[in-house]
Each structure stands twice: as structure tokens, then as C-alpha cells.
Structure 1
Amino acid sequence: MSEPRQRRIWLVADDYGISPGVNRAICDLIGRGRINATSVMMVGPAIGRDDAAELLNAVAANPNAAIGLHATLTAPFAPLTMHYQPVNGGQFLPLGRKLRGTLLRRHDRHVIATELSAQIEAFTERFGRVPDYVDGHQHVQLFPQVRDAFLETVKAHAPKAWVRQCGRSVPLTRRLGNPKPLLLDALSAAFRTRASRAGIGFNPSFAGAYDFLRETDFDALMRSFLDGLSDGGLVMCHPGIVDDTLISLDPFTDQREREYAFLGGDRFPELLAAHHVSLAAAPPPAMGGAVLSHTEI
């Protein structure tokens, strides 16, 4: 019997820039080779020049790692552009209102594109290069109206970058029961079609969505994420160290520390080996982002 095929995956830590504690955890994991990508929030409170320099230093210790933009269009963060609408008290709309508004086509695609362009430009100025890939905080890149503006902006400002789709490649029977991944599956179908038409690469499969507000065994979750994930697939994670800044911005706190402890511990490399999984190597920055797949799921 032949040995199982080795799979290479992207393990992406979201939310770099949301707080100093999250930044420290992500830099530690990248420097140790435990994750191979992080998505940066240019509207976060912890993305000054020193924060960017610390991340670049961590990537210098792990040149296989990629740095992407975590495009953000939901509260409690504020837009970079002066005339962005709609806003709520100077901030983006909360997630539920943003999703409903885009489903009802109440937003202006040009206004969204202008804000996303500003976030890519801010990233490029801070890091000295365009992002290797672009995804979305709270999966906003998948929303109607947002997705077209998002893909157009990536194509114009980071043409070699790949983008994140959030559809799973598991059988239908395993998709039932959790409404959040089901919604992501549905939204991702149209997103993949549009990305393919635009010639923009994306990850062939996705995992990492779960109920962040429940205390969960992250070891068991990671095993479920790896089970059935295709070669080139992407696992989203949110490691961090809880601090006052994070508490003020996000209800997802203690679970970040559980993720950080697991990803930094001895059990994680053993789990990867048992599943015949390794972390994918990023291309040199001069080559731009990795085009992972144009394959429909």
C-alpha cells in the first residue's frame, strides 16, 4: 500500500494589528515556523511602524511566510477614507447590518472600492510591498456588492495577489448542522466564479470556522479542519494574547489564547505529521502572491 500523499496547506493567522498581544503571539508563531501567513488589519490600533517592523523581522526568520491584507469593513473599526458611507458613529456598520445592506444592494460599490484601495495603499506604504494575498475581516470579501469591488481593487492594486474563498471541500453530509460554515459555502460559490473570471487565484479549500464564543478543544478542532482539506487548502486561525486593547474591540478573547497555546505546543507538529500535512512555502516577494487554484469546489 502506498503512503498517503503529503499535503501542503496555508495556516493563516487573522487580525494582525488588532492589539499588541495578538501581534506578539502571531510574530512568535511565524518566527518559529508554526504558521505560514498572517492577515494585517490596516485599520487596527496596533499597526504602527514598529508593529510592521516586528512582523517583517519574524518573516525574515521564516521566509516561507506570507503577509496579506485583512480588508476590514465592519465595526468597531473606522474607515480610512473621509467620505465612506454608510457609517455608524464614525465607524463601519456592525456585521449583521453590513451583510443585510449588501444583500439588499444598499451600498455603493465605488465607495467600497475606494476604501479597499486605501487599505491596500496603506499596507504597501507600511510594509514596502503589496500584500501577498488579500482576504476579509468577518469574511466581508464574500458579501454581495463588496465582492465585485474587492476583486476589482485587488486586480488593480495587487494583481499578483491571491484571495481567500471560504467554501469547504468536504462531503455534503459533513456540511450540515453548523449555519456559519453553510453560509460561507453559499457566499463563496459566487465569489469563486467571479475570481476565476477575473483571473485571480484562490485557495482550493477552506477550514477554520467555528463558534468562537464557546470554550472549545482546539486540538480536536484542528484535527477536524485537516480531515479532508485538499492540497493547497487554507486553515484560518486566531492566536493571540489577551490584553485590554483586544477586550475593548472583540468578544473573541480567551479562545485566542487556547489557539496560541496549541499552535505553539508539542502536540501541533505531531498532529501535522500524523495527517501528512506540512505548511506551504510562499514564493519570493518579488514574484507576488501564490496563485493557488482556479478550480471550482
Structure 2
Amino acid sequence: MNPERPSASPASEYRRIVVCADDFGMNTAVDAGILHLAGLGRLSATSLLVDGPSASQNLPALLTTHLQVGLHLNLTESFGQPGLCLPLKSLIQAAYLRRLPLGQVRDAICRQLDRFQDLTGRLPDYIDGHQHVHQLPGVRDQLLQALDTRTARPWIRDTGRPRQAGLPWRLCFKAQVIAGLGAAGLRRRVQAAGLTQNPGFLGVYDFKGGVPAYEIWMSRWLTLAQDGDVLMCHPARGMDAHDALTDQRQAEYAVLSDARMAQRLADHRLMIAGTDPCKEPS
């Protein structure tokens, strides 16, 4: 499924959204949540942390699902992997001061692309970034150069067109900060490379408030969603003591897995791309 070109549906009045769960491979709770939501038809895609501790263990189950699988490019989260890994603030500073070690960035990207192919037997359907690092200056250029040497034509996540109207200012501000960290520059390069991106982006919030807050934000995102938009989520099924977001991940899972989610989608005239018989082939 290319999010920029959703396929036609017999119910032509419906809009299609790509619901993408980030962080597959981070831990078993995250993987369990994503796999169960896939079985319920609540997801279109998941982004794989190729060095995550549970990636190899749970990947066989993932590959039996209908989900598109993308590379969740990681330059900030240490799993004991070799090569470049910096705290997010340090990475952003280095990127904007033009002090990134570009050779190391390129090596990290190529190694993760290679590992993705080793794990899955194919190249990624799409690419995004853990903490949105794929759009940073220097990183985006090395990413597109690495892709230019391969046969893959993945779509690339665009955070730069967030749909946040009507949400609290703090959430709108966060969405604009994320977009401002390189989305426009990435878009220009992606267009020049002949690749595609999602037309809109949803799912940015402050990871607070439990189920009540997430239900409110979800309702608003569904109201704003347009054809091909990506709705990012971070669900988990069960606790993980080492995951700072574990409570809110479970809140996301609770909302996404609830039977009322199907009714919310219907009420907003939405389909989750890739989960119905008229889906566009991968």
C-alpha cells in the first residue's frame, strides 16, 4: 500500500488511512500488542527496530500477518548494536551544526537495511525513523543515497503535514517541532528521487493521560484524517519495566483493540488501509 495513492474502494465515500505501529522488536509487550491488533484488522503497518531485543524472536509471527513492514531507522536507542548511537539531543545538535560523522551515519543506515533484509528476506515497504531521525539534515541525504544503490522503492514517512486542528496547543506545538526538524528538506529530496510519501500525518501527542485522553485525541485525528494519511501509534499488550512509555502504550492498545474502534472508524467514514478485500497489493 502506497499511502499517497490509496486504491479505489466500492464504498468510494470512505477515506483510507494507514495505521502504523512503531517499535516492533523493542520488547515482547510491544510485539504482542502489534500482533494482536494486526489480527483484529486495526493496523496497516509496523515499523521494525532491527536491533531490538525481541525482533528476531517475534518476526516469524509478524511475517504471517497482512501488515506492511518498514525500517524504523534507529540512531538514538542503544540495544548494544555496533556503530553510531547518540542521545537524540546530541544527534539533532550535530545535524544542524553540520558535525554529523556522515560516514558513520551511512554505515549505520546500510547495516540496518542489510539486517532488515536478512531478517525478513526482503527490503522494507517503507522507511521512517525512531524519534523521527530519518528526516534530519545529513541523515536524510545518506538515507536516500543508500536507497539509490538498492532496488527498493519504499515510501518515506513525512511528518511535515500534521493534521492537528482543534487539538490543544501543546500537542500542536509538538507536532510543529517534529515537522520543523527536517520534514521539508526531506520532502524535497524524496520528490527529486521519485519516491512517495504520505499526504498527512496524525498521532502526535504527549504520551500522557491514559485511555481517557487517548480516546479524545483518537476521535479528533479520525475527524481530520484524509485519504492516505499515516496515523502513528505505539501500542503494547502488557507491562515492561524497562520501557518509560509502558503505561501509555497499554492505553493506546486498549483504545485500538476495543470494539468501539471499529464503530469510530465507521462513524468517520474511514477504512484502515490493507485490511479489507479491496486493498492495493504490496
The answer for the alignment partner of 1:196 in structure 2 is: 191
State the shift of 1:283 in Å. 4.5
**Which of residues 211, 215, 230 in structure 1 aligns to 2:226?**
230
C-alpha contact 2:163 2:202 (8 A) present in aligned 1: no
TM-score, length basis structure 1:
0.82
State the shift of 1:54 in Å. 1.1
C-alpha contact 1:117 1:157 (8 A) present in aligned 2: no
The answer for the alignment partner of 1:5 in structure 2 is: 13
**Which of residues 9, 15, 26 in structure 2 aligns to 1:18?**
26
Gaps of 5+ in 1: 86-91, 286-297
Partners of 1:149 and 1:122 in 2: CA distance: 17
Give SS of 1:157's match.
coil
State the shift of 1:171 in Å. 8.0
| Structure 1 residues 37 and 173: alpha-carbon distance in aligned structure 2, compared to 1, 3 A threshold | closer
Tell me the alpha carbon deviations over residues 155-202 of structure 1, each in whole angstroms, 9 at most, x when there is no partner: 333532111010225488879544321112222111111110111111
C-alpha contact 1:8 1:232 (8 A) present in aligned 2: yes
Tell me the alpha carbon deviations over residues 128-169 of structure 1, each in whole angstroms, 9 at most, x when there is no partner: 111111110000011111111122223333532111010225
The answer for the alignment partner of 1:55 in structure 2 is: 62
**Which of residues 38, 54, 78 in structure 2 aligns to 1:30?**
38
C-alpha contact 2:162 2:202 (8 A) present in aligned 1: no
Partners of 1:176 and 1:217 in 2: CA distance: 15
Please state if 1:184 is matched with 2:173.
no
Give SS of 2:195's match.
coil
C-alpha contact 1:205 1:234 (8 A) present in aligned 2: yes
Aligned pairs, how many?
A: 265
The answer for the alignment partner of 1:74 in structure 2 is: 76
Letter in 1 for 2:109: L
Query: Where has structure 1 moved over 3 Å in runs of 4 or more?
Result: 76-80, 169-178, 213-216, 282-285
| Structure 1 residues 172 and 30: alpha-carbon distance in aligned structure 2, compared to 1, 3 A threshold | closer
State the shift of 1:47 in Å. 1.0
TM-score, length basis structure 2:
0.86
Give SS of 2:149's match.
helix
State the shift of 1:234 in Å. 0.2
Give SS of 1:227's match.
helix
| Structure 1 residues 214 and 77: alpha-carbon distance in aligned structure 2, compared to 1, 3 A threshold | farther
Tell me the alpha carbon deviations over residues 88-107 of structure 1, each in whole angstroms, 9 at most, x when there is no partner: xxxx2111111111111111
Partners of 2:164 and 2:251 in 1: CA distance: 29
The answer for the alignment partner of 1:272 in structure 2 is: 265
Q: Which moved more, 1:162-171 or 1:195-204?
A: 162-171
Partners of 1:184 and 1:158 in 2: CA distance: 29
The answer for the alignment partner of 1:46 in structure 2 is: 54
Q: Indicate the percent of aligned positions where both proteins have the same amino acid.
A: 34
Give SS of 1:8's match.
strand
**Which of residues 197, 200, 209 in structure 2 aligns to 1:205?**
200
| Structure 1 residues 98 and 214: alpha-carbon distance in aligned structure 2, compared to 1, 3 A threshold | farther
Tell me the alpha carbon deviations over residues 240-278 of structure 1, each in whole angstroms, 9 at most, x when there is no partner: 02444xx32x31110111111111111101111111110
**Which of residues 246, 250, 267 in structure 2 aligns to 1:253?**
246
C-alpha contact 2:239 2:247 (8 A) present in aligned 1: no
Gaps of 5+ in 2: 1-10
